[in-house]
């Protein structure tokens, strides 16, 4: 454990940031999973709405530096392609 006051504060800040990062990553993964389920079930309306959520969360994750730009673009592209190909 740290003895210096600034180090103790830094440890708290790191823990908070780590928790927030994990939460955002989980939101992205859950949104992708929900969108895939909607695509498989054939529900185009909910799939379109969920796609917007996925895009929002992924852009936020990129802006925070949690994922790279190419990863975000690739995943958004694949999902939007799946939604567009629905009947």
Name the residue ranges covered by the structural domains of the chain. 44-87
Structure tokens of 76? 């958004």
Best CA proximity match to 32, nearest among 87, 82, 66, 70: 82
pTM, entire model: 0.85
Q: What is the dihedral of CA 19, 20, 24, 29, to 10 degrees?
A: 0
Best CA proximity match to 46, nearest among 28, 57, 31, 29: 31
**51-65: pLDDT as tens digits:** 999 999 999 999 999
- Cβ atoms of 40 and 76 closer than 8 Å: no
**25-77: pLDDT as tens digits:** 999 999 999 999 999 999 999 999 999 999 999 999 999 999 999 999 999 99
């Amino acid at each position: 454990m740290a003895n210096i006051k600034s180090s103790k504060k830094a440890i708290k800040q790191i823990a908070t940031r780590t928790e927030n990062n994990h939460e955002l990553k989980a939101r992205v993964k859950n949104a992708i999973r929900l969108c895939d389920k909607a695509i498989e079930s054939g529900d185009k309306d909910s799939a379109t709405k969920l796609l917007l959520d996925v895009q929002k969360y992924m852009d936020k994750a990129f802006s925070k530096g949690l994922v790279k730009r190419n990863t975000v673009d690739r995943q958004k592209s694949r999902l939007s392609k799946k939604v567009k190909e629905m009947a």
